[in-house]
Structure 1
Amino acid sequence: MRPSPTQTLRLSLILLAMPLALAACNRDGDEPAPAEVAAETDAPAQETPAASPSNLSFADKTEHATVSLTLPEGIKAEPDLHARTYAEEVRNLRQFEEGALAARTEAEGDEGMPPFEKTVTVTVAGQTDRLFSLRREAFDYSGGAHPNTLTTGIVWDRSLKRLIGAPELFRKGADLTALDQALCTAVNAARRQRVPDARTITLAGRDGWACPRAAETPFVLAPGDQAGKAGGLIFLIGPYQVGPGVEGGYEIAIPQTAFKSMIATAYAGEFAGQPRRTGDVTPR
């Protein structure tokens, strides 16, 4: 008996639907269920090296450059600062390596140049209940007659979790002339200790050299004689800044009494007492 037109149409629709049903079944088996997708999405991201407490050092050596970084144990107490500092320093060291390779590529060969070298050493300087400071020393040899060493400072606000500098530490619009002069006097005294016949320099400049301005000079907190307080600031003055390169850099500690009235209200309570040392405190 031949099927009626209606039965033929019904059978055709059934046969057409079967591949679609089978495809749907296969998709169900291949794709994760919504719960599985959620589980994958919610899985914690892998910890970045910069955030790991164990990352206090980094070193690498290529044919053209040697680089290294050393951070202090004390930075572990400030995880955000630790992560930021490690990441930035490693990125800069990688760029230094790339620069060493580029220098040789541009010169079309080593031409007898020794490998470049950069070593960054960070140590804990003064700190208070709210502020935490680090001394950063960078040794850099990028060819030429001799290497250079530059010392800078890092000051971290623990409560705000951010870096601060002179614009934040000092009152807006404060007249820093007295602090500039105190720093200038201390620099001249330090220079005479190293070079007895060194000529006096001034804020206005003389013989090509001038005293540094406090607001334009990196600094760290000076440890003081009162717990949880800074006794002053240590200003970090680079080589060639106040005299010939043979003199090297200077680290000058100025007591907080010379600038306490200039400190912003938010940070005034972080300073008290006297620094453990004043004047030239450059490490020997």
Structure 2
Amino acid sequence: MVKVRAIMMAGAGLPLALFVAACGGAGDAPSQGASAAASAAPGPTTATPAPSPAAGEARKVKIANDFFEFDYSYPAAAAAIPGLKSWLDADMGKDQSRVAKEARAAAKEAKNSDFPFRPWAYGVEWKVVTDLPGWLSLSAAIYEDRGGAHPANGYGALLWDKGAGQQRKAEDLFASKAALSAAIREPFCAMLDKERAKRRGEPVVRSGEWPNDCIDPAGSTVILGSSDRAHFNRIGILVGPYEAGPYAEGDYEITLPVDVRVMAAVRPEYRAAFAAGK
């Protein structure tokens, strides 16, 4: 569900918070105040996050020591669902253990090589895209800095099927990933070219080669949003840097309305969850 994509230039593209608002509609992403925080001095590599707060409370964990900084948060809407909360807590613990182990190993290697070590940083921030009667759609902004020339930024997404009590991908609701791609490719490419032209200062002439060709929209991070809080009527595509253009262009975040082509690609059992958008 989580993809750390290529390097993202700070400030390039539409900020994720605004994109989530575009997919979710005004007021659809509730406040995500921190409910827990932790800081730790250097300790065991497999340190465990702070105890989880009660169900229904947003969670934010922050750890900082000589080896790494770690931030992980998720909203109250996710914490209110026991199965999803358990998955997020487990994901948090897994990420923290990995970062702690790898950062300490890097610090040891740097010391042995008489090379300066700069603490690593890793962060995941989950936000509500839309909260429907039967579904919770989340997106994540992911940050990782291993002390190199540039940090790596990326996106994550997940859907929680409230009726089935399980996690799904946006693509699972369609006949196939290829069917979703075919349904949105034309408007997606047109909007992507429009955005690329703004940043480049000239029209995009598709050459069939990077960086002027279009890309497979379903190959990037797909999120489902809503403006009526009852149906999925918007599709968001989060495109990482280097996927559709050079590093200097940053990332691209495209929002498309659900139309008849999208509806036709939805699997019959999920069709009632969708409606045409504007």
TM score, norm. by length of structure 1: 0.71
- Where does 1:120-139 land on structure 2 (aligned, <5 Å)? 120-139=124-143
Question: Is 1:78 paired with 2:81?
Answer: yes
* Alignment correspondent of 1:242: 244
CA distance in 2, matches of 1:68, 1:198: 40
- Provide the secondary structure at the position in 2 that maps to 1:154: strand
RMSD over aligned Cα atoms: 2.5
- Where does 1:28-39 land on structure 2 (aligned, <5 Å)? none
* Alignment correspondent of 1:30: none
* Alignment correspondent of 2:167: 163
After superposition, what is the alpha-carbon deviation per residue over 1:30-84, rounded to whole angstroms, capped at 9, x for unaligned? xxxxxxxxxxxxxxxxxx9458425611121221111111211221332211121
Q: Which has the higher helix share?
A: 1
**TM-fit CA distance, 1:208:** 5.2
TM score, norm. by length of structure 2: 0.72
In 2 relative to 1, CA 110–82 (structure 1 residues): closer, same or farther, beyond 3 Å? farther
- Where does 1:254-273 land on structure 2 (aligned, <5 Å)? 254-257=256-259, 258-273=261-276
- Provide the secondary structure at the position in 2 that maps to 1:269: helix
Larger Rg: 1
Identify the structure with bigger relative contact order (alpha carbons < 8 Å, sequence gap 6+): 2
Question: Is 1:197 paired with 2:202?
Answer: yes
CA distance in 1, matches of 2:252, 2:114: 35
**TM-fit CA distance, 1:136:** 0.3
After superposition, what is the alpha-carbon deviation per residue over 1:215-251, rounded to whole angstroms, capped at 9, x for unaligned? 3222222222x33112221111111111112211122
8 Å CA contact 1:209–1:241 kept in 2: the answer is: no
- Provide the secondary structure at the position in 2 that maps to 1:100: helix
- How many equivalent residue pairs? 225
**TM-fit CA distance, 1:165:** 1.9
Percent identity between the two aligned chains = 23
In 2 relative to 1, CA 159–190 (structure 1 residues): closer, same or farther, beyond 3 Å? same
In structure 2, give the amino acid aligned to 1:64: F
Unaligned runs of 5+ in 2: 1-49
- Where does 1:52-71 land on structure 2 (aligned, <5 Å)? 52-53=54-55, 54=57, 56-71=59-74
**TM-fit CA distance, 1:196:** 2.0
Unaligned runs of 5+ in 1: 1-47, 276-284
In 2 relative to 1, CA 199–233 (structure 1 residues): closer, same or farther, beyond 3 Å? same
